[in-house]
Structure 1
Amino acid sequence: MFDPTELQYLNPNIDRRIAIVTGGNSGIGFYTALHLYLHGYIVYIAGRNKTRVTKAIVEMKEVANVKTLQYSPDQVTERYNGELFFLEIDLLDLNSVIRAAEIFKSLESSLHILVNNAGVMALPFSLTKDGFEIQLQTNYISPFLFTTRLLPLLEKTAATPNKIAGSTEPIQPRIVYVSSIGHHFAFRYFNMNSHFQYYPNIMFTWFRYGIAKTAAIHFMKMLALRNPKILCLSVHPGFVMNTNLFAYWTRLPIIGILFWCLFQIFGYIFGVSNEEGAMASLKCCLDPSLNVEQDNGKYFATGGVEASPSRVARNMDYAARTWIWTLKELGNREISI
């Protein structure tokens, strides 16, 4: 299991590094944001509910205080906490996504790490106000739009001098997309226009989920080709069973109790904690051994172990089609990239 405490800590007074974590107020995102904060990063937690994010920030600082009490005297003088801020964004509203990117660019002149962590899973079929299937927009379209609107800032950051003492390496900003093993549900003839709006929804919802997660892996691979100075990676955090992703299933009348029991049993046997699940993201965010020359576009699994996504997800012909389809669909909504 990857251990972020073994990596270098930054002094934000000397080297101010900025990160954004979408959905950083709970689950895997909470621990991703927490450890970046502990490593000296200024972290913007992007979410739609200010009250929840503010509460999470308070909790994060409390957890950080407990962890810092465990530092040795030498570590106390070498480790610095960063800062935590709220950034409003609603992934179900593309105008909100654009607005969040513009607000961030007005606040900061650089961006070192972008973690597209927020997502939904296996929801009933519905369309957002922008006309996209709800899982597709939340898990792919909105992260695509948010990331591309922030690319100029990431590219600008890549051109700035590295302030880490003794380092001659250029800064390599990182984009990390939190995917899922569920992307394997998109198989064989991949088609972005497939809604799988069939009965029973309880089964076909997983195919819609797989398409969204596969499309995002395609996005990371295309970005890696188009932006060689930015490290673009996808991760599967592991079977994290105690997240809000399962709220819909466990709240169903009567059958929800059965799903709750199944998730508990499965999680006990195969699952990892939220903090363990965050390790794959943190490796991609912080590990200095990763670089654009050797690792761009790669996929990492539980604990930060390099792995291979599905055949469809690593198919660059499909990836190019996904890119073109996305530009066309956004263009139809008068959103230019």
Structure 2
Amino acid sequence: MLDPRILPYYNPAVNRKIAVVTGGNTGIGWYTVLHLYLHGFVVYICGRNSHKISKAIQEILAEAKKRCHEDDNGPGLGPSIQRLGSLHYIHLDLTDLKCVERASLKILKLEDHIDVLINNAGIMAVPLEMTKDGFEVQLQTNYISHFLFTMRLLPLLRHCHGRVISLSSIGHHLEFMYWKLSKTWDYKPNMLFTWFRYAVSKTALIQCTKMLAIKYPDVLCLSVHPGLVMNTNLFSYWTRLPIVGIFFWLLFQVVGFFFGVSNEQGSLASLKCALDPNLSVEKDNGKYFTTGGKESKSSYVSNNVDEAASTWIWTVHQLRDRGFEI
């Protein structure tokens, strides 16, 4: 797999690199933030729980210091402790579009450019629920809020020809034909149809990324499947179910043992897309990467430009109906 230490390091005193990461306080996002910090980035960690993010920041600082110390006594490939970046918290609740708007406005006031935006946060296969904005909760959390967030931050990304990386999932393949985003799959058993709702949200995220690449060719827009990361709170709903929860816990343990990757390994695709200097808008815009940063191909539905355009238009209209002009 990719060794992040071969990717470029920056001196924040000379070259101020800015990264914005949603859901950077846990799982894959935690390691993504750690490595960006080690590589000299000013990182804005966006999430809704200030206590959890403050705790994560302290843990990341401690881990970074440890790794720098180990590298001083090792092969010398890693960062210098004098050239670490900085970490900052931005309140962001993806289930509330007004909060998404406030978060983006705050970043617009703080910075004049963004080098990397990583749409990392997400939820998976949860019970049917509608947000206060009137969207199915997975669709809004995984896709619609990230769409609005990205569009609001686009001027800062275009200012420095930045990068947008959106985390999808192998689960997007479950959308084997194009389904309207307004379809909530409100059928029983919920245990089955929740996965279709998840697939729609993750397919839409890839479609949005491809449309961004077409509409804004000066920004490098990429989507990734991080791998089967089983050690993540995405599965907490399933493992906490009464009686059958223990079955799902065992199932996820078995799948993780044979096919899974660690949270840090799951961050590698995002890190490659964020830092690899060999990626360019001319030859890579709109591409899809999988575990470890390997270039791959997403599903037929997600690659259909006409259907991607339909998803984009539907999303713009839905946001406008709620007072958010795009």
Does the TM-score normalized on the shorter chain lie above 0.5? yes
2:235 aligned residue: 246
Question: Partner residue of 2:249?
Answer: 260
- Partners of 1:327 and 1:16 in 2: how far apart? 33
CA–CA separation in structure 2 for the residues paired with 1:80 and 1:153: 24
Question: CA separation in 2, counterparts of 1:304 and 1:189?
Answer: 27
Corresponding residue for 2:200?
Answer: 211
Q: CA deviation at 1:251?
A: 0.7
Structure 1 runs not aligned, ≥5 long: 159-172
Give me the whole-angstrom Cα distance separating, in 1, the residues matched to 2:101 and 2:79. Answer: 40
The aligned counterpart of 1:136 is: 139
CA distance in 2, matches of 1:126, 1:141: 15
Mapped contact 1:180–1:213 kept (Cα < 8 A): yes
Aligned counterpart in structure 1 of residue 91 of structure 2, from 75, 88, 95: 88
Contact 1:40 1:79 in 2 (8 A): no
> Secondary structure of the equivalent of 1:204?
helix
Residue 182 of structure 1 aligns with which residue? 171
Flag as ranges the 4+ runs of structure 1 deviating above 3 A. Answer: 72-79
Deviation, 1:79, is 6.7
Q: Normalising by structure 2, report the TM-score.
A: 0.97
Q: Please point out which of 109, 112, 126 is paired with 1:109.
A: 112
Q: Secondary structure at the match of 1:21?
A: strand
| Equivalent AA in structure 1 for residue 25 of structure 2 | N
Deviation per residue, 1:135-169 (Å, 9 max, x gap)? 000000000000000001111223xxxxxxxxxxx
1:190 and 1:312 in contact (8 A); partners too: no
**Mapping of residues 1-337 of structure 1, within 5 Å:** 1-72=1-72, 80-158=83-161, 173-337=162-326
Offset of residue 187 of structure 1:
1.4
Mapped partners of 1:189, 1:150: distance in 2: 29
Q: Which stretch of the first structure deviates more once superposed, 7-16 or 183-192?
A: 183-192
In structure 2, the partner of 1:164 is none
Amino acid at match of 1:5: R
Letter in 2 for 1:248: Y
Partner SS for 1:69: helix
Letter in 2 for 1:311: Y
1:43 CA drift (Å): 0.3
8 Å contact 1:190–1:318 — kept in the other structure? no
Q: What is the CA–CA distance in structure 1 between the aligned matches of 2:176 and 2:54, rounded to whole Å?
A: 40
Q: Secondary structure at the match of 1:70?
A: helix
Q: Can you list the C-alpha shifts for 1:177-204, whole angstroms capped at 9, x where unaligned?
A: 0110000111123322221111100000
**2:312 aligned partner, one-letter code:** W
Q: Distance in 2 between matches of 1:76 and 1:103?
A: 30
- SS of the equivalent of 1:228 reads coil
Q: What is the alpha-carbon distance in structure 1 between the residues aligned to residue 174 and residue 128 of structure 2?
A: 16
- Which sections of structure 2, spanning at least 5 residues, go unmatched? none
- SS in structure 1 opposite 2:301? coil
1:269-293 alpha-carbon deviations (Å, 9 max, x no partner)? 1100000000000000000110000
Distance in 2, matches of 1:59 and 1:261, equals 29
Percent of aligned pairs with the same amino acid: 56
Q: Is the 8 A contact 1:11 1:40 kept in 2?
A: yes
RMSD (Å) for aligned C-alpha atoms? 1.2
Partner deviation per Cα, 1:302-328 (whole Å, 9 max, x = no partner): 010000000001110110000000011
Amino acid of the residue matched to residue 94 of structure 1?
A: L
> Matched residues in 2 for 1:125 and 1:149: separation?
28
SS for the counterpart of 2:298 is: coil
The answer (yes or no) to whether the contact 1:10–1:79 under 8 Å persists in 2 is no
Q: 3-state SS of the aligned residue for 2:71?
A: coil
- Alpha carbons of 1:102 and 1:217: their partners in 2 closer, same or farther (altered >3 Å)? same
